[in-house]
Amino acid sequence: MTTTRVRLLAAIDVAAGVAFLAYILAFGLDTTGRHLFVLSLARLAFLAGLGAFLLTTGLSGGLARTGFGLAAAGALLNLAGAVGHVATDGWSYNPFDGQRATAPWYAYVIGISALLFFIGTVVVAIAALRSTVARPLAVAVLLAGVSFLLAGPFVVPGHFVWTVAWVALGILVIRAHRESVAPDG
């Protein structure tokens, strides 16, 4: 993969992260279709950042591939759940406001997908920490992964911290890739 493409993947991570931070500040967070759809797009962009990390570090072992596969499945399922939310109940419905006795099907898909993305990111970080490459970047991936645990109990600040961690990872990947690989146009 060329330097330009890796930087583009990391830049997608950074740009989407900054856009999601602006969204949080402008609209706040809730569990409506709009929020869950925007969050799913951010998660896809963070997956691009995770891919840029793997390409920059050259990690390609089974653990790294497994982690990336879990994160990719999580990101894609999250998008499917968000689209399902909008298709089933519209942009503004909140499935957790107590109007239904049980959560709708897409709430389970979104919950499982978020866990898959979290676990996949942490597995990639573990693979990186076990290797000798890019230890500071591996710590950044680990922080980006585990910071998601803050999003549940501390909704707005938790999502904010989680997003800042992904933006920081994207910036660090761009910087590390710039320093380790000569530009190839």
Between 25 and 179, the higher pLDDT residue = 25
**Which residue in 171, 163, 46 sits closest to 113, CA to CA?**
46
Q: Where do the domains of the chain lie?
A: 3-180
Angle, CA 139 vertex, CA 130 and CA 163 arms, to 5°: 135
Q: Are 169 and 141 in contact (CB under 8 A)?
A: yes
Cβ distance 169 to 128 under 8 Å? no
95 or 44: which carries more pLDDT confidence?
Answer: 44
Query: What pLDDT does residue 108 have?
Result: 93
Alpha-carbon distances of 39 from 23, 30, 108, rounded to whole Å: 10, 11, 16
pLDDT of 182 strictly over 70: no
pTM above 0.95, yes or no: no
Q: What digits encode the pLDDT tens for the residues 111-147?
A: 999 999 999 999 999 999 998 777 889 999 999 999 9
